[in-house]
Amino acid sequence: MGREFFGTDGVRGLANTYPMTADMALKIGAAAGRYFRSGGSNGHRVVIGKDTRLSGYMFENALTAGLTSTGMNVLLLGPVPTPAVGLLTTSMRADVGIMISASHNPHHDNGIKFFGPDGFKLSDEAELEIEALIASEIEPAQAVNIGCAKRIDDGRFRYAERIKGTFPHGCRLDGLKVVIDCANGAAHRVAPDVLWELGATVIPVGVSPDGYNINEGCGSTSPMTAAETIVSHGADVGICLDGDADRIMILDENGKVADGDQIMALFAQRWAAQGRLNGDTLVATVMSNLGLERHMQSLCLHLKRTNVGDRYVVEAMRAGGFNLGGEQSGHIVMTDYATTGDGLLAGLQFLSAMTETGLKASGLTTSFETVPQLLKNVRFEAGQTPLEAAKVQAVIADAEAKLVGKGRLLIRKSGTEPLVRVMAECEDPDLLAQVVDGIVAEVEAAV
């Protein structure tokens, strides 16, 4: 059976447009309720968190209606980071956790992500079973068994305490001036609080959500505001989160951005030196820079690549017993502490490296020299299949031939947006631009 609703990170799309409508959210909630109630063992309980999008209210209510109609009891967390939902699903002994968010996307998009009772994102198999239930006639609970809903007011405080517990005991951030950009998203209250409680001088950015400004000109996908703030305030470091705070970009004292690859390289090297990098292996996706792979090899460490999507990174980590992985986009997964990517957790780990080494942020964000990489996106309409066009396939084949022994090429459809992503790496910048622009031109012609 094909996947109609679920992409690489739950169900996602334009709010109030199929499949992200209130009616579909109700059906998705009912299907999830029926799926987990039939096999659940935790009192038919579900926790729901959300980010700060205006449409979050609509989806929260619709999901609650669907879930309670099948006998699930709903615990509403309000605005909390995605990793908080993974954490609280397990700590509150729930059968399932749900996060309403479209992550780094603009406010008009939204999404629904699921976590199992172990706090990890659902497998492809589980999502397919829920899809089958959506398409079927879902049996409601008897009137006496309808679930109830309850607002949980201290969810972010529980998460904050767990996150602070990952910071080295006895270590403080006194004397560090930290810019924290929360993307007007789910961490706009908890992230500045945690940093302040650990002793940092906090300069907050993107902490005034209005339902529309999430990720708008701020956050991990738009770090320029944070960079300017670092320079103007003479800050030591910047931490940029995305809308649901499961990814991060680090900015040094000069406002220069370090992506997920550089952060993972730093953590892998430190953990290996401390004897705590399981299997001497870092798990990353096919999007990670070739320079990261070469750096790991130079340290006699291993890089295991997966498909794009932090859930696939986590699946490979669990299968191999590895404890560090992530994506170039800033999802950093540390299963010693969390079940999913956690931007604030990664930020604290970076700050602990600063305090322990005494180095400036710039001394920790350039672990390796990157191979020139170029990524361009082409948007397409529903029903279009541009990668199947003969001319597109021909130009891709030609590009692959030109890059043999010189670099690599990756063409894929986004799992969260209607985009074709064209990425190449090559030491020759002219050849790099030539192959990427050639493919993009043909894909644009096909759509």
SS3 (DSSP) at 331: coil
Measured CA to CA in angstroms, residue 188 lies from 49, 79, 195, 220 at distances of 14, 9, 12, 13
Q: What is the pLDDT along the chain (447 residues), one digit of tens a residue?
A: 457 788 878 899 999 999 999 999 999 999 999 999 875 556 799 999 999 999 999 999 999 999 999 999 999 999 999 999 999 999 999 999 999 999 999 999 999 999 999 999 998 899 999 999 999 999 899 999 999 999 999 999 999 999 999 999 989 999 999 999 999 999 999 999 999 999 999 999 999 999 999 999 999 999 999 999 999 999 999 999 999 999 999 999 999 999 999 999 999 999 999 999 999 999 999 999 999 999 999 999 999 999 988 989 999 999 999 999 999 999 999 999 999 999 999 999 999 999 999 999 999 999 999 999 999 999 998 788 899 999 999 999 999 999 998 889 999 988 777 899 999 999 999 999 999 999 999 999 998
- Is the CATH code 3.30.310.50 the one for domain 373-446? yes
Indicate if 159-239 has the same CATH topology as 6-153: yes
Assess contact for 343 and 402: CB atoms under 8 A.
no
Pairing of strands 177-181, 237-241: parallel
Q: Kindly tell me the sign of the dihedral angle through the C-alpha atoms of 85, 83, 285, 243.
A: positive
Residues with catalytic annotation?
Answer: 103
Q: C-alpha distances in angstroms, 400 versus 269, 336, 376, 389, 391?
A: 32, 39, 17, 17, 14
What class does CATH assign to 6-153? alpha beta
Phi, psi of 98, rounded to the nearest 5 degrees: -130, 130
**How does DSSP classify residue 121?**
B
Rounded Cα distance, 180 and 396, in Å? 41
Domain boundaries 159-239, corresponding CATH code: 3.40.120.10
Q: Where are the domains of the chain?
A: 6-153, 159-239, 260-363, 373-446
Residue that the structure tokens 């604290």 belong to:
348
What is the total residue count of the chain?
A: 447
Give the separation between CA 251 and CA 219, rounded to whole angstroms: 11
CA distances from 370 to 154, 328, 433 (A): 42, 12, 16
Contact 195, 202 (CB under 8 A): yes
HEC letters along 167-210: CCCCCCCCCCEEEEECCCCCCCCHHHHHHHHCCCEEEEECCCCC
In CATH terms, the fold of domain 260-363 is Alpha-D-Glucose-1,6-Bisphosphate; Chain A, domain 3 (3.40.120)
Q: Record the pTM.
A: 0.91
pLDDT of residue 39: 57
- Helix (H) / strand (E) element for 315: namely helix 310-320
Nearest to 306 by CA among 324, 325, 291, 290: 325
